[in-house]
Amino acid sequence: MNKTDWRTAAILFAAISSVYFATVAGITSSNDGSHYALVRALADKQGFEISEYLSFTENQDYALNGDLRFSDRPPGTAILTAPVYAASQVLPPPLVELRSKHDPDNPRLVYALLVPVIAASVTVIILFWILRAHFALPLPSSVLTTLAFAFGTMTWKYGSLLYSHATSGLAVMAAVALILRWQTCEVSKTSQVFLGLLLGTSVLMEYTNIVFVVLVGSYWLVGRIANSPYRRRQIVLFAIGGLIPALFLMWYNTVNFGGPLKLSTFNADTTRWPQNQSFLTDFATPI
């Protein structure tokens, strides 16, 4: 992209993120409440157990392990948000009261919502980059399409709520952008590790992204790496990047639920959420 493109991207980011932040509504439901409960547990007591914050989940979106309670959401969004929330202790309170359904009297809550705002806004800018750098669309068309995506889709909603969709969308869009970019240029060792890390992180944000990872990872391995004289080394580096978040997730599962493959969503109350009995039942059928 040229200087005009970068300047346009900066203006778009400032405008879009401002609208997203202006429309945040606090913690609105059991879904974002479950993420927020884990944020509070991580920031306040450096642990994963959320019994003290169970009311944020509306006593339904939590995982069980004996008498212990955990978030039933993928941990990635909360892990990304917790440092921001912790740092807000030394930041000034917001100028306007946030009318949140949960934890409304906590002025630090607004800082946690910066994460979906920034994640969704960066996702939109990555789309702008794809349109300009990869597809070479004219600048007016790229701007119009970017704005349509930013304000005419669910991206706006998820950019103003502490759901997993904004952070998940960022990981997915960034992975797609990198693959499109690397189809036309040489791929460095660091890049292979980074792509694997990005794909693995997308599963930390949303468990069902494993389908995306399998499809895109297979496409990348077969279509790009298989034709390289250094394919063995590239596959190893790609796998190392993917294993870092995978090993963390297995550790998280083992510490909290007693096994590396015991995802939090499958430890929810299955009498209330029968679709969480297994990975296969987690998908709507027919797909």
| pLDDT for the residue numbered 219 | 85
134: tokens are: 């990869």
199: tokens are: 């794909």
Question: pLDDT 10s per residue in the chain (287 long)?
Answer: 788 999 999 999 999 999 999 999 899 999 999 999 999 999 999 999 999 999 999 988 999 888 899 999 999 999 999 999 999 988 888 878 888 999 888 999 999 999 999 999 999 999 999 999 889 999 999 999 999 999 999 999 999 999 999 999 999 999 999 888 877 766 666 778 888 999 999 999 999 899 999 998 888 877 766 666 666 777 888 889 999 999 999 999 999 998 998 888 888 776 666 666 666 666 666 66
Which helix (H) or strand (E) covers residue 69, if one does?
strand 68-71
Using the structure block, give the residue that is written with the tokens 């494993």: 210
Phi, psi of 136 (to 5 degrees): 55, 40
Which helix (H) or strand (E) covers residue 200, if one does?
helix 189-205
Q: How many residues does the chain have?
A: 287
The partner residues of 64 in beta bridges, in order of sequence, read 69
13: Cβ contacts below 8 Å, ≥ 6 apart: 121, 122, 124, 125
Whether residue 112 contacts residue 85, with contact meaning beta carbons closer than 8 Å, is answered with yes
| pLDDT for the residue numbered 189 | 64
46: alpha, beta or left, given left = phi > 0 and alpha = psi -120 to 50?
A: left
Name the residue among 92, 93, 116 with its Cα closest to residue 25: 116
The Cα-based distances of 63 to 26, 253, 275 in angstroms read 23, 11, 14
253: tokens are: 């599962």
9: tokens are: 């991207």
| Residue 88, helix vs strand vs coil | helix
| pLDDT for the residue numbered 274 | 66
User: What letter represents residue 242's amino acid?
Assistant: G
| pLDDT for the residue numbered 192 | 81
| pLDDT for the residue numbered 222 | 79
| pLDDT for the residue numbered 225 | 64
| pLDDT for the residue numbered 220 | 81
**pTM exceeding the 0.85 threshold for the entire prediction:** yes
| pLDDT for the residue numbered 193 | 87
| pLDDT for the residue numbered 226 | 61
Name the residue among 192, 190, 213, 188 with its Cα closest to residue 201: 213
Name the residue among 275, 251, 261 with its Cα closest to residue 79: 251
